């Protein structure tokens, strides 16, 4: 047996890969477990030998075998019971466990230093308690999206048409050849379903990947005494997690240490009130909740599926069926085009039936097809079936199933590329909405600046300090206390010779770094020498933080330290320390001197932070402790520091690009007004001549105190808002939206959540952004860089532009195909393009065309035009000009070939029809180049960069050659010689110079379809609306024939026409557009108008109209926005 297994106690630890630097009790504990499990292993081996289930290999060289024996860890604690205690908030049972300290001991966690954090330790904890992941519902398979595609009404119509065509074809031509038309429709349906299902499947997979990225939150933990960031998925039971405002609680656990901690548990309980967490009454923290205020350290007790959040999230699957506004508009357009095609098909059916039954059609031999009673019933049925099949084909081609596909492709493509450009899209609609953005409200810190802060100036009293040795010892001690004890950051140093590691916010890290490296701060010693009594945590509203402390050496005195925005701390002070440490009273003159020092640092783009102090007797502190408020009056100013945060490289160009594109950039920051103006000037947001006395730069309090009318008047002129609170940011967003602007807002803090939600596009920061801010945003800027915001703007415009390119391309084909078939059917009684040929054209423009045009990348030209109005017509006048000219050219050429082609080329009818088909397809190929640029004449610019486009063009041409030359029977074509191919190419190539010439023709800004009002006065185009001007006071508005004016008393007067006869006339006119009549309105005989003082009623009636609400949200924000009608 000794040859099989030899275990010596002196080699147990290295064999088990256990650390040797353990305490004596721990060593004994591990040796005891090793002995027990070695015995079990020996017993097991002997049993196996007896049973002869398998033979143990005898090692030839070593005299022992290494056993991977693991002791049963954490056996002193019942994890199931602990999990239940936390979930049920059972404080009494927690005390039975020995309280929080008892739980920490059982989990082998140091309350101050955390877990060991070694690879083996983490693995052991994950094996014992599970990992911090949760089971997700199975991902949707490809088959699911195939089934979803079949539910589409368009596809169902196509399948019905395919069945009809197949039946009619077999009836007329037999099974051998009759399946061609119906079969080709089935092939087209199969291709559309395949591309659509695969595209949606890939988009769903992309969403899942994005979800994994967005869920991979970074968490601050303390391991082996060192504070470090790890993934939320790496958190294990026993970890000590550091929490601050805006953080998501990563697991269930217990409160260890902290101050003023309040948690938003609404995600778990539905209650909106914040819950106070402390060690005395309620130490329980739950995964998925958000920190609303304060900071703390927590001990993790349950992770993953053992938490309520994990159980809940495992049942939730991400819904990717969000329909964007553009998709909704395209669905309407698709429906409209389909109805037009149906009307044409019905007209062709009627005309061809009339021609047939009146004897105006001839068969292949030139004989009259219908001779009344002399015609066989079977011949009549076959002819009618042929006519119906032709009409069905027109319906099939008319349905533009490629439009929704084009949107899906371009959105999926843009999302993928935006991810590469440091922008993670959380909501699809944000992709296209960003293209309409007219104003961007951006933060300063980290977005316009690098967020790499460093203390560059230090003032004591009224003197700048370059050498810290000049500071008196007592004053230096006060400064060190104010830095070390009034902070959420930390300092870590592995050994005495290694470098310091600083953690916390960028501002905290800068101050800690300065104090440690220049003022010789020993943070560990100070934390031992003082007890923290009460903390007021920093938030963006107060812009300061405070702490009260008591020295272990002097229990009769309490020190209060404040740190925060310089001018705010200065206002709380009545005295100051000079360099020698003497306290001096601060009169008005000295206060003004300090204000000038602060302004001077701010004008140099420095963030100014002040430190203040007050010493109070223990008795006074006990009295104030009941109110949980720190002393805020009659403080003594210790000193001022100036922190430099340099602007990001390239940010000025990004701002200029946005401004050149017609997008106004506003900076909203919590910094001093002078600092804000200096940074804004450096970034190009304001001109150097725009000072703080100019309306371009204001403080949040000033903006807040404006009357509503003043705010609406001045909001467009404001470029910088300093010392702003989250409420001020929200107020600005609301004002801008009421002015008809499409607003994008950047935010990183928890308090930015309302503004991010209110904005049309919320942009949160990926690095500095809190989890609350990220959840409220539409897009996450992963690198916190304003240049990435400008890139998102470019991509937003690209999405809209690509869709317009495809619409122009598709409508050109639709118009040409319908007119050619209609004219030919009426005049000749037959359609020149067969079902198979039309479906091939349909495939080119739908699937391949969508793929080619939907994946165009953004160009500089997109940033040279004004923002796209959300309510502008989807088909612009420029698009109408381009597509109508190309369609008319194709119609003229193909009809010429239809009626004169045989004599021009000297060919038979079969070759002529092939020439028409070939020319028509090649016209679409050449026109696909024209569609690349809606306005620019050079359509080839940048084409070499789009390899996919060139590849699709090449594939289309190759497939067309195959259709004409090799699939003659299937496609009903004849071979063409080189001369005929050259003629087809020459005719199609004319579309290039024609496209260049037509772009020289100017177009009216008035929407093309609005001219239909000449024919139909009540006609209202769904997407047509006059954009409100920035200076519009909204005292009047109109909708179709409805006109409203605001009276002096604030009521709205409704006028229908310039001339109204009586109340009944008004009632009839109102009923025409869907508005109710009295009692909601009062008729005034003198003014001959209807009035209402109830704006809610007016707004609710607008909602009753079958029109787009978002169109009125821009047009009538003073009504709809106030009442949130959506």
The pLDDT tens digits of the residues spanning 622-655 come to 656 655 678 888 999 999 999 998 898 889 999 9
Q: Which residues of 838-872 are buried (b: 16+ CB within 10 A; e: fewer)?
A: bbbbbbbbbbbbbbbbbbbebbeebbeeebbbbbb
542: which 2 tokens? 């107060």
Higher-confidence residue of 666 and 314: namely 666
d(CA 614, CA 632): 9
Instruction: Give the least confident one: 385-399, 507-521, 850-864.
Output: 385-399
Distance of CA 892 to CAs 143, 650, 885, 899, 920, Å?
45, 53, 11, 11, 11
Mean pLDDT to the nearest integer, 667-683 = 90
pLDDT score of 1010 more than 60: no
Average pLDDT over all residues of the chain: 78
Mean pLDDT to the nearest integer, 271-286 = 85
d(CA 418, CA 1125): 32
pLDDT score of 123 more than 80: yes
Strand pairing partners for 534? 548
At 450 the pLDDT is: 86
At 984 the pLDDT is: 95
In DSSP notation, 1006-1021 reads: S-GGGGGGGT-TT---
In DSSP notation, 566-584 reads: HHHHHHTEEEEE-TTS-EE
Question: If you average pLDDT over each of 62-66, 74-78, 814-818, 896-900, which comes out highest?
Answer: 896-900
* Three-state DSSP class for residue 1113: helix
User: Which backbone phi and psi does 98 adopt, to 5 degrees?
Assistant: 100, 15
Instruction: Give the least confident one: 253-257, 531-535, 889-893.
Output: 531-535
Report pTM: 0.69
CA 573 to chain centre: 45
pLDDT band of residue 65 (cuts 50, 70, 90) is: very low
Higher-confidence residue of 1012 and 942: namely 942
- Number of neighbouring beta carbons within 10 Å of residue 279: 14
- Show contacts of 825-829: CB within 8 Å, 24+ apart: 825/348, 825/351, 825/352, 825/390, 826/348, 826/351, 826/355, 827/899, 828/898, 829/352, 829/355, 829/356, 829/360, 829/361
SS (H, E, C) 306-336: HCHHHHHHCCCCCCCCCCCHHHHHHHHHHHH
At 433 the pLDDT is: 86
At 209 the pLDDT is: 74
pLDDT band of residue 169 (cuts 50, 70, 90) is: confident
pLDDT score of 485 more than 80: yes
* Three-state DSSP class for residue 1052: strand
At 57 the pLDDT is: 41
Compute the half-sphere exposure of residue 952: CA atoms within 13 Å on the CB side of its CA: 24
- Number of neighbouring beta carbons within 10 Å of residue 618: 13
Check the CA dihedral 111-117-118-124 and report its sign: positive
Examine the residue annotation and report whether 443 is marked as an active-site residue of this protein: yes
Q: Are 905 and 912 in contact (CB under 8 A)?
A: yes
710: which 2 tokens? 């003043």
In DSSP notation, 773-817 reads: HHHH-SEEETT--HHHHHHHHHHHHHHHHHHHHHHHHHHHHHHHH
The pLDDT tens digits of the residues spanning 5-19 come to 343 434 434 434 444
pLDDT score of 519 more than 80: yes
DSSP 422: T
**Sequence-separated (6 or more) residues with CB below 8 Å from residue 143:** none
At 1086 the pLDDT is: 52
Report H helices in 741-785.
753-758, 771-776
pLDDT band of residue 475 (cuts 50, 70, 90) is: very high
Q: Is 652 exposed, middle or buried (0-12, 13-18, 19+ CB in 10 A)?
A: middle
d(CA 714, CA 723): 18
Catalytic residue among 239, 293, 443, 972: 443
Distance of CA 985 to CAs 932, 937, 962, 992, Å?
20, 21, 16, 12
In DSSP notation, 184-225 reads: HHHHHHHHHHHHHHHHHHHHHHHHHHHHHHHH--EEEEEETT
CA 148 to chain centre: 25
């Amino acid at each position: 047996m000794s040859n099989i297994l030899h275990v010596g106690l002196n080699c147990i630890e290295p064999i088990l890969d256990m650390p040797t630097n353990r305490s004596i009790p721990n060593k004994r504990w591990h040796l005891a477990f090793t002995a027990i499990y070695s015995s079990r292993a020996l017993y097991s081996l002997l049993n196996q030998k007896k049973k002869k289930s398998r033979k143990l290999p005898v090692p030839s060289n070593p005299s022992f075998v290494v056993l991977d024996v693991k002791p049963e860890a954490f056996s002193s604690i019942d994890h199931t019971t602990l999990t239940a205690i936390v979930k049920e908030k059972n404080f009494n049972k927690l005390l039975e466990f020995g309280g929080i300290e008892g739980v920490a001991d059982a989990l082998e966690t140091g309350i101050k230093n955390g877990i060991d954090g070694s690879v083996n330790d983490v693995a052991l904890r994950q094996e014992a308690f599970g990992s911090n992941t949760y089971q997700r519902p199975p991902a949707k398979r490809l088959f699911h999206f195939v089934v979803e595609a079949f539910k589409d009404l368009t596809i169902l119509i196509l399948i019905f048409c395919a069945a009809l065509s197949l039946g009619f074809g077999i009836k007329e031509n037999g099974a051998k050849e009759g399946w061609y038309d119906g079969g080709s429709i089935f092939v087209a349906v199969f291709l559309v379903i395949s591309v659509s299902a695969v595209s949606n499947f890939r988009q769903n997979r992309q969403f899942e990947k994005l979800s994994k990225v967005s869920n991979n939150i970074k968490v601050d933990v303390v391991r082996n005494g060192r504070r470090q960031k790890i993934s939320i998925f790496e958190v294990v039971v026993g970890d000590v997690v550091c929490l601050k405002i805006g953080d998501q609680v990563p697991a269930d656990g217990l409160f260890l240490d902290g101050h003023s901690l309040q948690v938003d548990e609404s995600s778990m309980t539905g209650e909106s009130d914040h819950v106070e967490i402390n060690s005395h009454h309620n130490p329980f923290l739950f995964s998925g909740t958000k920190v609303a205020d304060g900071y703390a350290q927590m001990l993790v007790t349950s992770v993953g599926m053992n938490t309520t959040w994990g159980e809940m999230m495992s049942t939730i699957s991400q819904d990717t069926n969000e329909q964007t506004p553009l998709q909704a508009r395209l669905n309407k357009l698709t429906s409209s085009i389909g109805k037009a095609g149906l009307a044409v098909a019905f007209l062709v059916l009627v005309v061809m039936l009339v021609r047939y039954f009146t004897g105006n059609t001839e068969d292949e031999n030139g004989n009259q097809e219908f001779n009344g009673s002399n015609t066989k019933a079977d011949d009549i049925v076959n002819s009618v079936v042929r006519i119906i099949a032709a009409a069905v084909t027109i319906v099939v081609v008319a349905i533009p199933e490629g439009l929704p596909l084009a949107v899906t492709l371009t959105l999926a493509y843009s999302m993928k590329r935006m991810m590469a450009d440091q922008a993670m899209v959380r909501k699809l609609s944000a992709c296209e909405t960003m293209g309409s953005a007219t104003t961007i409200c951006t933060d300063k810190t980290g977005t316009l600046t690098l967020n790499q802060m460093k203390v560059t100036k230090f003032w004591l009293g009224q003197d700048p300090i370059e050498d810290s040795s000049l500071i008196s010892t007592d004053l230096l001690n006060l400064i060190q206390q104010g830095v070390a004890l009034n902070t959420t950051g930390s300092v870590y140093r592995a050994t005495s010779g290694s470098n310091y590691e600083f953690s916390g916010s960028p501002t905290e890290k800068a101050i800690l770094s300065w104090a440690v490296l220049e003022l010789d701060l020993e943070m560990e010693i100070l934390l031992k020498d003082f007890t923290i009594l009460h903390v007021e945590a920093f938030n963006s509203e107060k812009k300061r933080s405070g702490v009260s402390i008591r020295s272990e050496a002097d229990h009769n005195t309490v020190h209060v330290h404040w740190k925060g925005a310089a001018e705010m701390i200065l206002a709380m002070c009545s005295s100051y320390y000079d360099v020698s440490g003497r306290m001096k009273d601060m009169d008005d003159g000295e206060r003004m001197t300090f204000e000038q020092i602060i302004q001077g640092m701010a004008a140099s783009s420095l963030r100014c932070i002040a430190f203040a102090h007050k010493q109070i007797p223990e008795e006074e502190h006990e009295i104030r402790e009941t109110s949980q408020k720190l002393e805020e009056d009659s403080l003594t100013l210790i000193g001022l520091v100036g922190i430099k945060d340099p602007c990001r490289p390239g940010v000025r160009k990004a701002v200029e690009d946005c401004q050149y594109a017609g997008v106004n950039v506003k900076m909203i920051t919590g910094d001093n007004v002078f600092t804000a103006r200096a940074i804004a000037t450096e970034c190009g947001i304001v001109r150097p001549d725009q000072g703080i006395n100019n309306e371009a730069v204001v403080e949040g309090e000033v903006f807040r105190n404006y009357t509503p009318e003043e705010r609406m008047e001045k909001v467009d002129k404001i470029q910088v808002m300093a010392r702003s609170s989250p409420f001020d940011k929200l107020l600005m967003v609301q004002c801008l939206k009421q002015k008809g602007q499409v607003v994008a807002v950047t935010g990183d803090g928890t308090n930015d959540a309302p503004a991010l939600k209110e904005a049309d596009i919320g942009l949160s920061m990926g690095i500095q952004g809190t989890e609350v801010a990220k959840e409220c945003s539409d897009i996450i800027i992963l690198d916190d860089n304003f240049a990435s915001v400008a890139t998102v703007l470019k991509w937003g415009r690209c999405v809209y532009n690509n869709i317009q390119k495809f619409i122009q391309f598709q409508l050109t084909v639709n118009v040409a195909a319908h007119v050619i078939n209609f004219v030919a059917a009426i005049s000749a009684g037959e359609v020149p393009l067969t079902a198979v040929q039309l479906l091939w054209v349909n495939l080119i423009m739908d699937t391949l065309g969508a793929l080619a045009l939907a994946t165009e990348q953004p160009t500089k030209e997109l940033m040279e035009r004004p923002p796209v109005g959300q309510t502008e017509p989807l088909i612009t006048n420029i698009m109408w000009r381009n597509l109508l000219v190309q369609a008319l050219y194709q119609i003229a050429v193909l009809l010429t070939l239809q009626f004169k082609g045989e004599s021009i080329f000297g060919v038979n009818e079969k070759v002529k029809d092939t020439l028409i088909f070939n020319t028509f397809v090649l016209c679409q190929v050449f026109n696909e180049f024209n569609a690349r640029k809606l306005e620019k004449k050079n359509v080839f610019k940048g084409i070499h960069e789009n390899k996919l486009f060139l590849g699709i063009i090449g594939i289309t041409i190759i497939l067309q050659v195959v259709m004409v030359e090799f699939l003659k029977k299937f496609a009903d074509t004849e071979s063409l010689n080189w001369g005929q191919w050259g003629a087809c190419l020459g005719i199609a190539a004319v579309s290039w110079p024609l496209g260049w010439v037509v772009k020289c023709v100017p177009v009216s800004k008035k929407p093309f379809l609005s001219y239909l009002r000449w024919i139909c006065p009540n006609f209202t185009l769904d997407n047509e609306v006059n954009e409100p001007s920035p200076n519009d006071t909204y005292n009047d508005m109109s909708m179709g024939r409805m006109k409203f004016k605001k009276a002096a008393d604030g009521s709205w007067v409704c006028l229908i026409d310039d001339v109204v006869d009586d109340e009944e006339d008004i009632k009839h006119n109102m009923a025409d557009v869907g508005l109710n009549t009295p009692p909601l309105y009062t008729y005034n005989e003198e003014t001959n108008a209807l009035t209402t003082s109830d704006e809610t009623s007016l707004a609710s009636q607008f909602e009753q109209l079958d029109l787009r609400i978002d169109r009125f949200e821009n047009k009538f924000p003073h009504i709809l926005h106030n009442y949130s009608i959506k």
